[in-house]
Amino acid sequence: MLIYILTLTLFLLGLYAIIAKKNIIKIIIGLAIIDYAINLFFILIGYQRGSIAPIIPKNSTIKNFVDPLPQALVLTSIVIGFSMLALVVVLAIRLYEKYHTFDITKINKLKG
Amino acid sequence: MEIILISLLAFMIIGAIIAIETYDLLSSVISLGAIGFALCIVFLFLGAPDIAIVQLIVEILSLVVLLKLILKREDKDDTVNYNNFSIFSVIFFTGIFITLAYFFLKEIHKFGNIFQTFNKGEIYSYYISNALEKIKAPNIVSAIILDFRGYDTLGEATVIFTAILGGLVLLRKIGRKKDETK
Amino acid sequence: MKQNNSGMTIIVKTIAKLVIYFISVFAFYITLTGHLTPGGGFAGGAIFAAGLTLLLLAFGKDILLKKFNYSKLNIADSLGALAFVIIGFCGFFFASAFLNNFFFKGKVFHIFSSGQILYLNIAIFVKVAACLFSILLLLSMFRILSENKTSKEKEK
Amino acid sequence: MNNFLPLFVAVPLFISFLIQLLNKLPDVIADWLALLSTLFLAIISIYLIRTNEILIYQMGGWQPPIGINLVFDSFTGVLLTIISLITCLIVIYSFSYMEKFTEKKKYYSLLLLMLSGMNGVVISGDIFNIYVFLEIASIASYALVGFGCEDEELEAAFKYLVLGSVASAFILLGIIFIYGKYGTLNLAQLATYIGNENLINKINLNMIISVLFIMGFGLKAALVPFHAWLPDAHPSAPAPISAMLSGLLIKALGIYVIIRIFFFIFKISLILSYIIMGLGMLSMFIGVLLALGQWDFKRLLAYHSISQMGYIILSFGIAGAAISKNLPSSIALLALIGGIYHLINHSVFKSLLFLCSGAIEYATGTRKIKELGGLREKMPITSLTCFIASLSISGIPPFNGFWSKLIIIIAAILSKFYFAAVITVIVSFLTLLSFIKVQKHILMGELKENLKEIKEVPISMCFSTLMLSILCISLGLFYPLVKTKFLDTAANIILNNYQYIQTIQNFFMK
């Protein structure tokens, strides 16, 4: 139970970084931290105490494996997180080139 | 086992606080890298080797990408303005969410025994027993990714394709053809 | 190699030249035995892209662009994705369902053993390597553009 | 019959990868490839909508809880037909509209990826699969919003991306809690577990999961507390993309998944339907109030989509309240029919309005209503279609907007939510007011001198706007036919959702 709560605090820290921080880099870091917390939570859900990784060894009949399904989903979500990060970095570069600052408060040409 | 995980998690939380609060952007990106590597070690402890490999490599690449963004550009985060209202509200909300979390996290199965869910690990045991007979793939995770749930990975490969295409589209120099008349 | 100043010092260049072969062999190993040992298409592609990034950082952009310009990366990228969909379609036409694994499964614990998982791993390897490396090439290309633009503004 | 289902996702993916592969060929090839694939999908969806039994397709040949299965019931059919038809017309529209932009081939492959993402979300029967295809559609729309690479567009794309990824993080957190508690990802198996589960204490996990899903999919559906990205993203996107965003994306990714989750999986409860109705009324009212003060045509339309989405959410909230208060099922059926019908109408006339605004911008180069005036001499077709669309959005009798708003008001009165009915009437009156202002400025009045030499937009743009306006009129006039053939079965599917769960059950692994 304590591990789940610690992961949730990591998730909240990332959320805090996105909401409270004004600098684009800190927002990107917040996004990355949220991705880390969610991937960690997925793998924690699939852990079986005292069992080995889900690779069937060659000639042994060990049957207690960790749950492989969350690992398949986490592989997908890591790659989604990275592609989101790449897109945000590309946007941050273009915004820096146009506005010459990373500060959100100065990037507000859109009104209304 | 739990002690190692909790200590690594504490390390990650401290790293996250450093990454969010420091003025110098370079050190915040470096501490983000440190969190990623600690996460990779946690994956190894939780018995997820190929997730650890992918996480490690993607962590290195995202570090290189972030450093490319920061170097030769602004490196001080001068937007920090601490007023006690924001700090107080943050602590207040985290407090509420954690106490709420304590109640509803009881319903998720205890850490370490996956058979307490509603379907008693029925899908889990099917994957374990049939990965070798039906698909002859000892690595059950690869079997799930590419055969049982291959449709997910098709979407997955498309996500990377879209992100690259989006990056190419956003980084081109002339967006609109400037028509000379208007 | 003619001595040009783009990229890092000579030490890094020589080490990079040596290490890149080990990295690519490791990447191929991880991809081809994706269904036997941990790893797979994603991990192998990412490792190969990390090796190319090492070359990019060590030797600078212009040498890399001779071998890896955009059209090649783009073709490799869409070829990998097309291979994935085509394998899915041949499951759709020849076998009962869209991504059905009707290929020859072979004996357990051998490389050519688990049917479509190997071919899909190779397709994903090509795709992910081309994708991740083209992101980094893109970012390094773009920074040059913004630099000479800012330098022009400074002169004005 | 059910072998067509994976084509909805596989064909657009295949064509978009092919377009990127043939990068050297001229743009015309990409035009025709995109047109043929969307036309093919439209024909399949029209062919498929006539069956009113539920089709299941096991992806990869594995039974449902092990593999992923695709589900097609008549509610999905309604949505698939709208998505394919409107995307086909948008591709025709962008033949000539996208001449103003560079990199036309990349635009087409991103458009097809967004289409395959939406189709993937609509027909998938597995909750993590919905998340993956939602990501594809969202990432493609982030890139397309910033397609013009101007300052505002990049800023709007950045804001949209940050909010979108926070929403996806909430959705993924909800999926983790579901897997942690129920151990399965399949929607039907989840429904059976939630169905025969007795909730003990008040703060249970289902409440937290539904809060997370409402926040996540609510942001994708631009409901009021989470609508901050829409008024910036839509005006800065190129016109066909903003037509697709506000016509299809917020429906397929937002409303459809909210209904699929809260009507089929989590039994709809009274509190939940009150929350949904509250969100609907809030977005209706605030959307139209903000829209009154706008002078930029596309931004005004963006605010109107928020308020029109409020109509749809309100009608589904009324249906949920009617079901959970077990009023006579005819009221819930009426509310559902109103919701689905308004969903169809809103997609049609909102895309038409955005395409007209793109045509006006293509000809005159400006979006500000004040600078336009008296376009009816020089641009007859665009002004005619814009006139028809404004009439149908403000609910003038012969057109389709009138019928759906009427049904929603009747359903609200029958289920004794008089406050909701009053708000609906006020908001539709304010919409009428705002569109009269738009018509007066754009169509009536005299032609300004600097606009003397503008000429009508090319044929491909006129063709798609005309087709959409014909669709608008026919949906309005042939309402009884449309009701019996499509809407009744779709509403029945949502009302008694045990059919959906039963048909998937007997595919389960024994």
Q: Say what the pLDDT of residue A39 is.
A: 94
Handedness of CA D238, D242, D248, D252 (dihedral sign): positive
Token pair belonging to D23 = 């990068």
User: Which one-letter amino acid corresponds to residue D44?
Assistant: I
* Helix-helix angle B150-170:C116-155, to 10 degrees: 20
Q: Say what the pLDDT of residue B106 is.
A: 81
Q: Say what the pLDDT of residue C70 is.
A: 80
- Partner C contacted by A3 (CB < 8 A): no
| Cα distance between residue D110 and residue D99, in whole Å | 16
Q: How many domains does chain D have?
A: 1
- The residue ranges of DSSP E strands in chain C, in sequence order, are none
Chain D, residues 31-90, CB within 8 A of chain C, namely: 57-61
Domain residues for the domain of D403 are 280-477
| Cα distance between residue D474 and residue D484, in whole Å | 15
Q: What is the pLDDT along chain C (156 residues), one digit of tens a residue?
A: 445 567 778 888 899 989 999 999 999 999 998 888 888 889 999 999 999 999 888 888 888 888 878 888 889 999 999 999 998 888 888 887 888 877 777 777 777 777 788 888 999 999 999 999 988 888 887 755 555 555 445 444
Q: How many domains does chain A have?
A: 1
Nearest to D182 among B119, B148, B167 (CB): B119
Nearest to B167 among C113, C120, C138 (CB): C138
pTM comes to: 0.93
The DSSP call for residue D484 is I
User: Which one-letter amino acid corresponds to residue D277?
Assistant: M
The complex scores an ipTM of 0.92
Residue to test with chain B: of A2, A21, A26, most B Cβ within 10 A: A26
| Cα distance between residue D365 and residue D146, in whole Å | 19
Report, as ranges of residue numbers, the positions in chain B whose pLDDT lies below 50.
180-182
Measured between beta carbons, the chain A residues lying within 8 angstroms of B61 are 82
| Cα distance between residue B88 and residue D410, in whole Å | 48
Q: CB within 8 A of C153, min separation 6: which ones?
A: none
Nearest to D152 among A41, A83, A109 (CB): A109
Q: Is C2 exposed, middle or buried (0-12, 13-18, 19+ CB in 10 A)?
A: exposed
Measured between beta carbons, the chain C residues lying within 8 angstroms of A97 are 146, 149
The residues pairing with D70 across neighbouring beta strands, listed in sequence order, are D57, D124
Winning range, highest mean pLDDT, from A44-58, A82-96, D52-66 = A82-96
| Cα distance between residue D468 and residue D88, in whole Å | 11
* A48: in domain: yes
Q: Say what the pLDDT of residue D509 is.
A: 63
CB-based contact D21 C82, cutoff 8 Å? yes
| Cα distance between residue B60 and residue B58, in whole Å | 5
* A24: in domain: yes
Token pair belonging to A29 = 């870091």
Helix and strand tally (H, E) in chain B?
Answer: 7, 0
Q: CB within 8 A of B105, min separation 6: which ones?
A: A1, A4, A5, A8
Coil/strand/helix, residue B174: coil
Q: Say what the pLDDT of residue C155 is.
A: 47
Q: Are C117 and B134 in contact (CB under 8 A)?
A: no
Q: Are D363 and D454 in contact (CB under 8 A)?
A: yes
Coil/strand/helix, residue D296: strand
* A111: in domain: no
Q: Are A27 and D162 in contact (CB under 8 A)?
A: yes
Measured between beta carbons, the chain C residues lying within 8 angstroms of B154 are 84-85, 88, 99
- The label of the residue with tokens 């090492």 reads C54
- The residue ranges of DSSP E strands in chain A, in sequence order, are none
Q: Is D1 exposed, middle or buried (0-12, 13-18, 19+ CB in 10 A)?
A: exposed
| Cα distance between residue B82 and residue D471, in whole Å | 56
Nearest to A41 among D165, D176, D231 (CB): D176
| Cα distance between residue D443 and residue D204, in whole Å | 56
Query: To the nearest 10°, the Cα dihedral for D92, D93, D94, D97?
Result: 140
CA atoms within 13 A on the CB side of A20: 20
Local confidence band at A83 (pLDDT 50, 70, 90 cut-offs) = very high
B7, B151, D79, D178, D401 from B155: Cα distances, Å: 36, 6, 21, 21, 36
Measured between beta carbons, the chain A residues lying within 8 angstroms of D173 are 11, 38, 41
- Determine the distance in angstroms separating the CA of A55 from the nearest CA of chain C, rounded to an integer: 7
Q: Say what the pLDDT of residue C1 is.
A: 46
Domain residues for the domain of A27 are 2-106
* D205: in domain: no
* A112: in domain: no
Q: Say what the pLDDT of residue B55 is.
A: 93
Measured between beta carbons, the chain B residues lying within 8 angstroms of D9 are 154
- Partner B contacted by C71 (CB < 8 A): no
User: Could you list the mean pLDDT of each consecutive 10-residue stretch along chain D, which spans 510 residues?
Assistant: 86 92 87 92 89 84 85 89 92 88 88 93 91 94 88 89 93 92 87 78 78 90 86 88 90 89 84 89 90 87 90 90 84 88 90 90 82 78 86 83 87 88 90 87 75 78 88 84 80 80 74
Q: Say what the pLDDT of residue C156 is.
A: 43
Token pair belonging to A97 = 């080139």
Token pair belonging to D237 = 């996107």
Nearest to A75 among C42, C142, C143 (CB): C42
CB atoms within 10 A of CB A9: 18
The DSSP call for residue D447 is P
* D317: in domain: yes
* D462: in domain: yes
CB-based contact B65 C107, cutoff 8 Å? no
| Cα distance between residue D310 and residue B173, in whole Å | 39
What's the longest Cα–Cα distance across chain B?
A: 71
| Cα distance between residue D134 and residue A76, in whole Å | 13
Coil/strand/helix, residue B27: helix
CB-based contact C42 A79, cutoff 8 Å? yes
CATH number where A43 lies: 1.10.287.3510
Token pair belonging to D448 = 């300004």
The residues pairing with D58 across neighbouring beta strands, listed in sequence order, are D69
| pLDDT tens column, B38-59 | 999 999 999 889 899 999 999 9
Chain A, residues 80-109, CB within 8 A of chain B, namely: 80-87, 89-94, 96, 101-105
CB-based contact B151 C98, cutoff 8 Å? yes
* A63: in domain: yes
Average pLDDT, stretch A7-32? 90
